[in-house]
Each structure stands twice: as C-alpha cells, then as structure tokens.
Amino acid sequence: MVRAPLFRSFVREESGVTLAEGLIAMPLVLLIFAAFVEFGYAAFQWNQTVKALQFGARRAAVSSSMVAGFDPAIVTALAPGSTNGGVAIPVGALGPWTCTGSPACTTELNRIVYGAPGVTSCQPIGTGSPAMCQLNPRIGIDNVRVTYMMSGLGYYGRPGGAVLTIRMEVLGITFNLPLLGALLGLNNVTVPAMPVTVTSEDLNTNSGS
C-alpha cells in the first residue's frame, strides 16, 4: 500500500511535465510547419503553371495555327463577288476553333509544349526551342487547351488573315503535395485552368523555329 505522504509527494511532483507537454504538442507543431511548407510549394506550382501558360500563349501568338485544318487567312477571305472587303468582322462571327491535345491539334502544339514538332516528351534545355514543359515539367499536350476566337479587330479581305484572340489554359493537372496529400487526401486538388489570353500577331512568323 502506498503511504499517504508518498502519494501526495508524487502528485505534487512536476519534473518531466515540460517533456510530456512537448511530446503532446510536437506532432501538431510539425503538422502546422509541414502545412506552411507545402502550401508554399503549392504556390510555387501555381506560379510555374501561370508562367508556362504566359510563355505558351506568347509563342502561340507568333506561330502557325495549332488547330488541325484551321487557317486564319481563309476565315477572312472574300467569297467570289463579295462586297464585304474592308468590313470589320464582328466578335464571335466566326469560330471559336479549339484543340485539346492530340489528335485535335497539329504538331505545332508539340513544339510549343515540348520544344520540337516531332517529339512527345520534354526536351532538355538548350535542345530545340524553349518550351512550356521546361517551366512546368508536369505539363503535356493533353493538359493544354488552345482556343482561337475572332477578336473584332480583323476585317474581311485583310492581308495575312484574321486578327485572333488566342486563349490558352491547362486541364487535368493536380497539385503535388507529398505530405498533406498522403495525410489529408489533398493530392486530388486540381490546378485551376488559369486561362491566359493574347491577341495574335503574324501567325506564321515563328512557326519554323
């Protein structure tokens, strides 16, 4: 039987309390720290995707059309006997024309995403053209949607074809969160489409580079 004085001494004893409290709090502190790190990593992935889209849209503005069978010079061509020469084409009068991965898109998309027309994977930096995948390695042609729309700036009979609005966005990319994804199932969180829109210039200037 434990004597009363010894029991009272045990109850009043405070040595080891700090260690016990630390052991209780440590998992929560580590989880919060990991959350800060991984949310920062998610912001980095977000920024990677935005920069890749900005780069891809800029390249698309000075490249040949990526939509199979679509020629911007044809959509503004005058039909025989037409009197529309010089008349502005209203926004949305023609199109939109969209491609999402292969085979809906031409090999031009491969060049912008991977760095060369005939390849199906990211090329090393310094090989071929600069590419979107070099800014975000998780982007492939099946993760990119390109839409050409009439901007309202072109006119029928314009030399060089239509002035288009080009919108580029991502599809089907999820955030990579190694710790929180495993613990909380957050690896299924999809990166927003984050569309980037630019106005076309000469859609053939850069097609061969």
**Residue 205 belongs to a domain:** no
- Flag whether pLDDT at 12 surpasses 90: no
- 148 is in which domain, residue-wise? 17-199
Residue 134 tokens, joined: 């070099």
**Residue 181 belongs to a domain:** yes
pTM of the model: 0.77
**Residue 38 belongs to a domain:** yes
**Residue 10 belongs to a domain:** no
**Residue 95 belongs to a domain:** yes
**Residue 173 belongs to a domain:** yes
**Residue 24 belongs to a domain:** yes
Highest-confidence range of 3-7, 45-49, 125-129, by mean pLDDT? Answer: 45-49
Are residues 207 and 108 in contact, defined by beta-carbon separation less than 8 angstroms? yes
Strand partners, 174: 190
pLDDT in tens, 115-151: 888 788 888 888 778 899 999 999 988 899 999 888 8
Assign 3-class secondary structure to 17-52: HHHHHHHHHHHHHHHHHHHHHHHHHHHHHHHHHHHH
* Separation in Å, CA 173 to CA 36, 77, 159: 21, 38, 39
Number of structural domains found in the chain: 1
**Residue 195 belongs to a domain:** yes
